Amino acid sequence: MDYSRQIILPQLGDSGQKRLQDSRVLVIGAGGLGCAVLPYLAAAGIGTIGIIDGDVIAASNLHRQLLYTEKQIGLSKALEAEKYLNAQFPEAKARVFNQFLDQANARQILEHFDLVIDATDEISARYLLNDTCEQLGIPWVYGSIHQFQGQVSVFNYREGPNYRDLFPTPDPAAVSCSDAGVIGTTVGLIGMLQVNEVLKIQAGFGKVLSGKILIYDLLSCSQQVFEFEKKPKKNPQVEPIAFPLLSIGEAVLPERILMDVREIGEIPQISMNNYLQVPLSKLSEMAQSLDREQEISIFCQSGKRSQQAAELLHGMGFAQIRLIKGGANELLAYLNYEKDIS
């Protein structure tokens, strides 16, 4: 293929063309958007193009899915799209998956690609695609249409925001093309905008549509771009700090201070030397008066509050924190046993 006319674009050049040649791009769905993007990806020189779709060609597809003809009705979209690419763009290496994307296959298919184009027509597939791309750390180019309007965005690009940051909750009222109606020019135009984002990302020119969603309205020929941000994670997965553990026998040595972080009145009640009751709810306030260099061994009923208390004290600068294996019941049993044998 002779790419000379695009290579002379200063934004692309030989190096940009080489980057396109080295790219592996997966197209999810070989329907309206898929048929629009596939020839343009291949024609631009994308080296490896994946196609995944488990659907077959129907007569009602042909007005907007221009890779197929009447003779192919009933045949696999993925396999027929592959045949088209092989005949028209033999330099592009096509990898075909004649199945729908699902929880079981998503990761093992997506991990072979650098970037994914969303050409699905289902909201649930987009959440699956989003979560898999986030796990694998690969960007994806979103495209979706509603009648004469289309949306385009780039998600998970260089740790930028993703689909869930924009649309956290699936819309139960969302409708497909077969229900809402669609005309070929809408999917054609939105597909072009998607391919354009792919070329920018892979060759490295222009400004990528990350953190922004473009909405194009073909009836008024108007477009608007809306900005959005990454949502703060509600439950950041922070690894618990591993504090040294002491057995009860080690913990009750006279030089140690045992801190009980249960609330006042919780049973069993403990009575012993070097015992300090500091309920977790009052810990940050009461710990102000303690020596931060003093070794402190913490226990509670089950161990959960001990870990929380230890992390809180660690954050306040306490240097020698220990956790006691077992809770108040085990400690009391040990103390009673010691009393009995003495």
Partner 1 sequence: MIKVHYFGIIAEAAACEQESISLGEIGLQSLISDLKEKHQLDSYEFQIAVNRKIIQDPSTIQLENGDEVAFLPAFSGG
- Which parts of this chain interact with partner 1 (CB under 8 A)? 29, 31-34, 118-123, 126, 143-147, 149-151, 166-167, 169-177, 180, 182, 187, 213, 215, 224-229, 231
- What is the Cα–Cα distance from 90 to 84, expressed in whole angstroms? 9
Q: Cα–Cα distance between 93 and 99 in angstroms, integer?
A: 19
> Smallest distance from the beta carbon of 146 to partner 1, in angstroms?
4
Distance from C-alpha of 73 to C-alpha of 81, rounded to nearest angstrom: 13
Backbone angles phi, psi at 285, to 5 degrees: -75, -45
CA dihedral sign of residues 237, 114, 195, 77: negative
Q: Is 76 helix (H, G, I), strand (E, B) or coil?
A: strand
Amino acid at site 232: P
Query: Which two structure tokens, joined as six digits, stand for 105?
Result: 């296959």
Q: Least distance in Å: CB of 159 to partner 1?
A: 18
Q: Output 29 or 39, the one with its CB closest to partner 1.
A: 29
Dihedral sign for Cα 320, 326, 332, 338, please: negative
Q: How near is the Cβ of 176 to partner 1 at its closest, in Å?
A: 6
Q: Give whichever of 171 and 255 is closer to partner 1, judged by the CB atom.
A: 171
Phi, psi torsion values for 32, nearest 5 degrees: -60, -60
Nearer to partner 1 by C-beta: 33 or 115? 33
Q: How far is the CB of 318 from partner 1 (least distance, A)?
A: 36
Nearer to partner 1, 29 or 47 (CB): 29
Query: 182 vs 324, which CB is nearer to partner 1?
Result: 182
| Shortest distance, position 181 Cβ to partner 1, whole Å | 9
CB 47, CB 55: distance < 8 Å: no
For residues 331 and 249, what is the distance between their CA atoms, to the nearest angstrom? 9
Q: Which helix H or strand E contains 214, and what residues bound it? A: strand 212-217
For the CB of residue 201, give the shortest distance to partner 1 in the complex, in Å: 20
CB of 126 to partner 1, least distance (A): 8
Residue 303 CA to residue 106 CA, distance in Å, equals: 39
Residue whose CB is less far from partner 1, 226 or 275: 226
Residue 221: CA count within 13 A, CB half-sphere: 0
**Cβ nearer to partner 1, comparing 127 with 205:** 127
Residues 6+ apart with CB under 8 A from 262: 277, 279, 280, 300, 301, 305, 328
**Closer residue to partner 1, CB minimum distance, 119 or 300:** 119
Minimum Å distance from CB 231 to partner 1?
A: 6
